[in-house]
Amino acid sequence: MTPSTLWAFDSYQRIRSRLPAVTVDSVEPQSVASLGVIADRFDGFIFDAFGVLNVGNTALPTARARFHDLQAMGKRCLVLSNAATAPQRQLVQKYRNLGFPITSDQLISSRMLVSAALGSETDQTWAVMAPSWARSDQLPCRSFLIANQDIQANRDRLDNADAVLMLSTQGWTDRLQQGLSDSLRRRLRPVWVANPDLVAPREDGLSLEPGHYAHQLADTIGLDAVFFGKPFSNAFDAAKTKLSHIPASRLLMVGDTLHTDILGGRCAGLSTMLVTAHGALKGLNIGTCMAESGIFPDFIAPEI
């Protein structure tokens, strides 16, 4: 299944009750040509990755140029990504290869957040949803990968796992999802989701991400999962900690998704900017999406 942007928006609306609630007044979004128009109002910028800086493994040239310009101006730039498949060093290198001059200290990933939390769960054995190249052996916990043989031919191993970590959907299938669901029906256990996104923009369309499958489990078996990443506070707390020397009024969250980037940024007390040309809202009527969701950014632009 290759989801459409409208399907993705409707799916986010359907799970809205499981997302943080906006506790601040609505704003009247200001349309601007690009981030350059308002750059002088802020000292720190928190960028989503997919749909803002890149689409799949392709950098967006205007984003790359803007990122360079902001750093040349002395602005502090972070990347706050729900990516969880690749280890931190590999993810940083990906963005450096794409032309974004970032250091490890400038990138906060959902994998980094969940890894920190796993450090206090060392007595648990985790069944990990991820491909072999995701290097789950680098996580600070006992774990094994959920593969076809684990679910179909070695059911006991999955059933005996203490908890499940949904790290990546690469290689995931409906058959594997059904096997995981069946196992959790037999014995409900903690499920941590290292990527809350329902979809991510790729070169050939939107891909389904761990959040989609986690909410599917919530719908079918009543699962109450723990999420790491946007729009949840653990992601924005980590970003604000890194930028604690900058007043919140001088920080801007830039993203392509109302229900993750903009919702999370507003709940964290940050100014927000929605970019629309390449991400999860591409081709949709943005005004209608904002009105239906009740989520309004401070600024709107096609790209940064």
pLDDT of residue 52: 96
Buried-exposed string 86-101: b where 16+ CB fall within 10 A, e elsewhere: bbbeebbebbeebebe
Q: Cβ distance 298 to 273 under 8 Å?
A: yes
Give me the phi and psi of 121, to 5 degrees please: -120, 40
Using DSSP's 3-state secondary structure scheme, residue 218 falls into: helix
Tokens of 130: 């991820």
As a whole number of Å, the end-to-end CA separation of the chain is 30
d(CA 240, CA 103): 17
The pTM is what?
0.94
Instruction: Return the pLDDT at 204.
Output: 81
Contact status, residue 245 vs residue 211, Cβ threshold 8 Å:
no
- State the CB neighbour count (10 A cutoff) for residue 236: 25
Please spell the DSSP secondary structure of 62-81, one letter per residue. HHHHHHHHHHHTT-EEEEEE
How far lies 194's CA from each of 60, 97, 167, 186, in Å?
A: 25, 24, 5, 23
What is the model's pLDDT at position 301?
A: 97
Tens of pLDDT, residue by residue, the chain (304 residues): 778 999 999 999 999 999 999 876 678 999 999 999 999 999 999 999 999 999 989 999 999 999 999 999 999 999 999 999 999 999 999 999 999 999 999 999 999 999 999 988 888 999 999 998 999 999 999 999 998 777 777 789 999 999 999 999 999 999 999 999 999 999 999 999 999 999 988 888 889 999 999 999 999 999 999 999 999 999 999 999 999 999 999 999 999 999 999 999 999 999 999 999 998 899 999 999 999 999 999 999 999 9
Instruction: Give me the pLDDT at residue 26, please.
Output: 74
